[in-house]
Structure 1
Amino acid sequence: MIVIQKPGVLASVQDLGRHGHRQLGICPGGALDVLSLTLANRLVGNADGAAGLELTMGGCELRFEADTRIALTGDDFSATLDGVPLWPCWSVSVAAGQTLKLGGANAAGRKKAGLRSWLAVAGGIDVPPILGSRSTDLKASFGGHQGRALRKGDRLALGPSRLDEAQRTRRPLGLRGPDWGPEEDDAAITLRVLPGPEFEQFTLAARELLWGERWRITPQSNRMGSRLAGAELKRRRGGDMLSSGVIPGTIQVPPSGLPIILMGDAQTTGGYPRIGVVIRADLWKLAQAPLNGKLRLVQVDMAQSLAAWADQQRYLRQVAQGLATAGWPVAA
């Protein structure tokens, strides 16, 4: 059992998402950074799809009421376990009564100003699955823990762990996580983007601005979408559009001309022109990009997009092989 003593800005139960229901208007949701949750689950011997906690902007405090094992991935909010530092992408044993604390967004010693962390616990968070997922759909108020963000005093049950006692109490085990941070001198995070269905509807100047601007993520962003500030992107001609399907990563341009990059909790259809789509292999970087942080959008083609996805899957296979070599259970 986990007791929420302090939930922080936004904490929720999430797994890899609720897929296969878009025709009903139900978004996939799930962890915004699938890569981080997958790594955390593997570090505690869970299946990749086990439910964990998505913790936004730190500032939270959790108490464990049973012996278990945990792993924290994503951004570094100067986490401590009973005052002992806990580093991202490390798996550690936890004794009943211990408390995990994450500092806030301004915590001392933070190396990067990211946005979210993901906590996996051996056995996973045991909430009832709805439509095949334990994820919380915050806007529709179902799934997860009572269909809502976590509050002080909430108690979360844990599922059966795959770890035996020797594995649970093993010394800390870690790996090097992927680097999501800025790659340019101007501190912009690079996202690779495919041109969207309505790309050609925009002026040549707007298309050049899409790739040339350093976009700022505004504080109005959330799990539904990242709203960007920067240059106005103009269409060659106005007019309404019929609603059409959208997916996480779709870059819509509303009448303001300022793009919105859709996230996991976004609607399933939209009527704004789709100038591009962030490739699947880079969505985890967007989930980590901080408010008021900068983005650099780089055009790629389908072959490059597929190659990037193959690289990410190769990295996950290497992680699985490394953990197996270390005698750790890995269950996809």
Structure 2
Amino acid sequence: MSLTILASGMQATLQGNPRLGFRHQGVPSSGPADSLSHALANIALGNEADTANIEITGGGFKAVINAPISIALTGAPSSATLNNVPLHFYTPIHANAGDTLIIPPPSLGLRIYLAVTGGFEAQTFLKSTSTYLPANFGGHLGRGLQKDDILKFADNPPSLPSQIIPQHIRPFFSRQWSLRFCEGPEFHVLTQESAKQLTHSPFKASSRLSRMGIQLEGTPLNLSSDGKMKSAPVFAGTIQCPENGLPFILLADAQTTGGYPRIGTIASCDRHRLGQIQAGDQITLISLSPEAALTALKQKLSALAALTTKPLT
């Protein structure tokens, strides 16, 4: 029981659970760039939320299904088809042996998630099946998927019934993103004018964009330092500001330490949105207190948990 890749598009990788607890050894978390869409694809099929599925960046993906299986697509909206029949996202879909799946580039957003019932077989490294491309480990041979790769379906019986994901919990897609953030440890190095500018002047995502991070474009921020400091811990969501004054937001594959001022951190409740930002998208930053950020995260996790509660029998 497997799937054969006919075209992988810009980039496609297997992503599962984040690789947690190893940052002190210099190992990033990796995992899905959009953790919410990744989880919803699995939940639609009754899988555990962190089951390995395919993260497809920019579309252009094509595969043939080699055995009957249920699939689900989530994330950036695309006119995907199965044997030329249009597919609904966030919905379990039965595929037969020999069916061809085509996922064109999305109209909005950047990444699409393809899950199958039970998930895909993937290499586990440091307690995670996620692919980390810079070091070539995890996922499928530690690399991006390629034409003629055969991905086997894992034998993991679903823990819950399949379901259509309700509209209210599906992510919203746009070319304009509002991201809530909390002030970082070096926020104070921003001049008073630039601290105000951070939340009053929108930025634009540059073409320097990957699973490592997103470089922002706009009026450069002014720092009361030279934009350099001793290396300090950084995480996915950290907003660094180098000496050129153009912030850089870190993503799942980012390094574990950095030597630029950490002027902010994207709140966990909005971090999944980072994985859907295209080059040229507008980004507005909204300041939030740590307490408010925690409340917003709890609300989002509560809504997600409601989908994974086993029905009473």
TM-score, normalised relative to structure 1: 0.89
- Aligned 1:244-283 pairs, distance under 5 A: 244-283=232-271
Match of 2:155 in 1: 160
Match of 1:192 in 2: 180
For residues 151 and 223 of structure 1, do their structure 2 counterparts lie closer, same or farther at Cα, with a shift above 3 Å needed? same
- How many residues align? The count is 310
Is the 2:59–2:104 contact (alpha carbons within 8 Å) kept by the matching residues of 1? yes
For residues 239 and 89 of structure 1, do their structure 2 counterparts lie closer, same or farther at Cα, with a shift above 3 Å needed? closer
Match of 2:124 in 1: 129
Match of 1:295 in 2: 283
For residues 239 and 179 of structure 1, do their structure 2 counterparts lie closer, same or farther at Cα, with a shift above 3 Å needed? closer
Match of 1:8 in 2: 9
Is the 2:227–2:261 contact (alpha carbons within 8 Å) kept by the matching residues of 1? no
Is the 1:76–1:87 contact (alpha carbons within 8 Å) kept by the matching residues of 2? no
The one-letter code matched in structure 1 to 2:129 is R
- Report the CA distance between 1:220 and its aligned residue: 1.1
1:168-189 per-residue CA deviation (whole Å, 9 max, x = no partner) reads 8xxx84432433334xxxx521
Is the 2:222–2:245 contact (alpha carbons within 8 Å) kept by the matching residues of 1? yes
- Aligned 1:166-205 pairs, distance under 5 A: 173-176=164-167, 177-182=169-174, 188-205=176-193
Match of 2:83 in 1: 82
Structure 1 unaligned residues grouped into runs of 5+: 328-332
- Report the CA distance between 1:303 and its aligned residue: 1.0
- Report the CA distance between 1:131 and its aligned residue: 0.8
Match of 2:63 in 1: 62
Distance 1:141 1:74 in 2: 25
Distance 1:23 1:238 in 2: 27
Match of 1:104 in 2: 105
1:16-56 per-residue CA deviation (whole Å, 9 max, x = no partner) reads 21111101100000001111111111111211121000000
Once the two structures are aligned, what percentage of the paired residues are identical? Answer: 35
- Report the CA distance between 1:103 and its aligned residue: 1.0
- Report the CA distance between 1:93 and its aligned residue: 1.0
Distance 1:127 1:236 in 2: 47
Which stretches of structure 1, 4 residues or longer, exceed 4 Å deviation after superposition?
none
- Report the CA distance between 1:239 and its aligned residue: 6.5
Distance 2:289 2:72 in 1: 35
* Other structure's SS at 2:179 match: strand
* Other structure's SS at 1:139 match: helix
* Other structure's SS at 2:12 match: strand
Is the 1:90–1:175 contact (alpha carbons within 8 Å) kept by the matching residues of 2? no
1:304 counterpart (292, 301, 306): 292
- Report the CA distance between 1:319 and its aligned residue: 2.1
Is the 1:51–1:124 contact (alpha carbons within 8 Å) kept by the matching residues of 2? yes
Is the 1:91–1:174 contact (alpha carbons within 8 Å) kept by the matching residues of 2? no
Distance 1:45 1:237 in 2: 51
Match of 1:213 in 2: 201
* Other structure's SS at 1:119 match: strand
Match of 1:330 in 2: none
- Report the CA distance between 1:128 and its aligned residue: 2.2
Is 1:285 the equivalent of 2:273? yes
Match of 1:140 in 2: 135
The one-letter code matched in structure 1 to 2:265 is V
Match of 1:319 in 2: 307
The one-letter code matched in structure 1 to 2:225 is R
Distance 1:48 1:73 in 2: 13
1:203-241 per-residue CA deviation (whole Å, 9 max, x = no partner) reads 011111110111111111100001100011111132641
- Report the CA distance between 1:318 and its aligned residue: 2.5
Is the 1:223–1:265 contact (alpha carbons within 8 Å) kept by the matching residues of 2? yes
* Other structure's SS at 1:220 match: strand
Distance 1:239 1:136 in 2: 32
Match of 2:115 in 1: 120
RMSD between aligned residues: 1.8
- Report the CA distance between 1:161 and its aligned residue: 4.1
TM-score, normalised relative to structure 2: 0.94
Structure 2 unaligned residues grouped into runs of 5+: none
